[in-house]
Each structure stands twice: as C-alpha cells, then as structure tokens.
Amino acid sequence: MTSPFFEHIDHLGIAVANLAEAEARYTAMFGVEPYKREEVEREGVVTSFFQVGPNKIELLEATRPDSAIAKHIEKRGEGLHHVAYLVKDIRAEMARLREEGFQLLSEEPKPGADGMLVAFVHPKTAGGVLVELCQPKS
C-alpha cells in the first residue's frame, strides 16, 4: 500500500569525516561521479550528491565543529545520518506529524541542499531515525 503522505524516499544522508575521500570511495562503488557539490553555510555542512538509479545518496561533511554533522560524527562516527522523504506539502506534513505526537526540530521548513525545503523529525520520536521531510522549492 502506498503512503498517502510521503511520496517516496528522496535520499539517504551519510555523515563523512572527509568528503573528498568519501566521494572517491563512493565513485568507485557506484561507478558514477557525484552530480552536485553544495555548501549549506547555515547548517555548517558541505554536501555531495550521487544519483544511483532512481535513488540519491547525499554525503555530508561538517565545515565547523558546532554543526550537527560534526556532533554526529563525534558521537556516533561516520555512517547513516538521515532518511529523507519527498512530500507534496511540507508545511501540512509538519503540522500533521506534530498532531500525531512527533517532535520536529524547527517550526518552519528551511532551505536545504539540492533545491529543497527541509524539516527534520527528532529521532527520539521516530524510533531512533532522523527523518527529513523535503519538498522542491517553488
């Protein structure tokens, strides 16, 4: 059965300590180079995206020690950081999830990488998984 709220998994976010090394590793694994590298200064991260069939993989490297990615790597090491889902109406989904008892990390969606508006669901209310909602910017 298809979810009436989430379109599909948009991408998997992977925290890495060294983006250049990770890009080389994943290029060798996937047989393709990343299609985009982008800094999201507000979040203290630089991202690199791979297209693998219908799926995207986002590598995330911290650009400052107080960023969420730096804290993630310090606490848990490199690895899966988040699962991102494409939604039609991010504000409506944020409101619906709040009503369902989920804790969101922001009141409003924020500009994210790859042309998206994003919002995150706290892992404590999502079974230990950091969930990202994303919607293309209009």
Pairing verdict, β 36-40 and 6-15:
unpaired
pLDDT recorded at residue 2:
84
> At residue 41, what is the residue type?
E
Residue 49 has pLDDT above 90, yes or no: yes
Once rounded to an integer, what is the mean pLDDT over residues 31-36? 97
Q: What are phi and psi of 129, to 5 degrees?
A: -110, 130
Q: What are phi and psi of 35, to 5 degrees?
A: -90, -15
CATH T-level topology, domain 6-136: 2,3-Dihydroxybiphenyl 1,2-Dioxygenase; domain 1 (3.10.180)
Read off the pLDDT of residues 36-47 as tens digits, 9 standing for 90 and up. 999 999 999 999
pLDDT recorded at residue 62:
98
Cα 50-56-58 angle, rounded to 5 deg: 65
Residue 71 has pLDDT above 80, yes or no: yes
Read off the pLDDT of residues 13-32 as tens digits, 9 standing for 90 and up. 999 999 999 999 999 999 99
The residue assigned the tokens 């590793």 is 25
> At residue 122, what is the residue type?
H
Q: Cα(12)–Cα(26) distance, rounded to whole angstroms?
A: 13
Cα 109-106-4 angle, rounded to 5 deg: 60
Q: Cα(111)–Cα(26) distance, rounded to whole angstroms?
A: 26
Q: How far is CA 97 from the centre of its chain?
A: 18
CB 60 within 8 A of CB 78: no
Nearest to 37 by CA among 16, 25, 19: 19
How many C-beta neighbours within 10 Å does residue 74 have? Answer: 11
Residue 138 has pLDDT above 80, yes or no: no
Confidence of residue 83 (pLDDT cuts 50, 70, 90): very high
